[in-house]
Amino acid sequence: MVSNYADIIVMRHYLEGAAQYASEVSPVPIVNAGDGANQHPSQTMLDLYSIYKTQGTLEDLNIYLVGDLKYGRTVHSIITAMRHFNPTFHFIAPDELAMPDYYKMYCKKYNIKFFEHQDFDSHTIADADILYMTRVQRERFTDLEEYERVKDRYLLKKDMLFRARANMKILHPLPRVNEIEYSIDNTPYAYYFQQARNGLYARQALICDALGITLDDIKNDKTIIS
């Protein structure tokens, strides 16, 4: 019904597969802006763009995923999206929020290298090209004592960065609570605010693509004042 009013529908829905179903019945393009715990593809596009933009390539990178690797939809999507680019992953999480077996089996199936850590210090992250931080949320824990024990173990502090590679960039899907120390914000490693801005560009590009507008169309559009 909404398709009578709009050229494109961007939808977020709590049920998984809702966008897929909508795309089968809608005459106008559907963009999935998140369907339950299933997918959030525009976040993945902006993450890939941020990695490419900061590293100049998507190939052969060391990618460190930190925090809630059990429920974090974004970190799962990065694994599937990076599959084609020979990454090496490092999973850093407390036991209760460890990377699910399903994704570890996925890595093995596609020969994606991965290492698991429980420690989080300057040595662990010394070889990182991308350090992808996520929130460790209290409501994810069944055992609150366990939460109290681990909640401060996966915070990134400025003094952990002195061994970091020059090209290393910190990403975070935002909003941040306290998992990245504020003093890191004005170091060259911080990229999470630009990453959020890249979300705008990635979504503009997605909408153009869905509407059949090409880069040449935009370059040749005389009505755009540059």
With binding defined as CB under 8 A, does residue 36 bind another protein?
yes
Contacting range for another protein; rule: CB under 8 A; set: 18-26, 93-101, 159-167, 217-225:
18-26
Residue 13 Cβ vs another protein, minimum distance, rounded to whole Å: 8
User: In terms of residues, how long is the chain?
Assistant: 226
Whether the Cβ atoms of residue 22 and residue 10 lie closer than 8 Å to each other: no
With binding defined as CB under 8 A, does residue 115 bind another protein?
no
With binding defined as CB under 8 A, does residue 44 bind another protein?
no
With binding defined as CB under 8 A, does residue 17 bind another protein?
yes
218 burial type by CB count under 10 A (0-12 exposed, 13-18 middle, 19+ buried) = exposed
Q: By C-beta, is 13 or 53 nearer to another protein?
A: 13
With binding defined as CB under 8 A, does residue 38 bind another protein?
yes
Question: In the block, which residue shows the tokens 């998140």?
Answer: 34
Contacting range for another protein; rule: CB under 8 A; set: 8-16, 81-89, 151-159, 166-174:
8-16
With binding defined as CB under 8 A, does residue 194 bind another protein?
no
With binding defined as CB under 8 A, does residue 16 bind another protein?
yes
Cβ neighbours of residue 29 under 8 Å, at least 6 residues apart?
8, 9, 23, 210, 211
Residue 24 Cβ vs another protein, minimum distance, rounded to whole Å: 9
With binding defined as CB under 8 A, does residue 48 bind another protein?
no
Question: E strands within 36-122?
Answer: 62-66, 88-92, 113-117
Nearest to 171 by CA among 12, 88, 53: 53
With binding defined as CB under 8 A, does residue 14 bind another protein?
yes
Cα separation of 106 and 96, whole Å? 20
With binding defined as CB under 8 A, does residue 18 bind another protein?
yes
Residue 29 Cβ vs another protein, minimum distance, rounded to whole Å: 18
With binding defined as CB under 8 A, does residue 39 bind another protein?
yes
> H-helix or E-strand containing 133?
strand 130-133
Question: In the block, which residue shows the tokens 């609570």?
Answer: 177
Residue 97 Cβ vs another protein, minimum distance, rounded to whole Å: 20
Nearest to 103 by CA among 118, 91, 87, 120: 91
List residues near another protein by CB under 8 A. Answer: 14-18, 20-21, 35-39
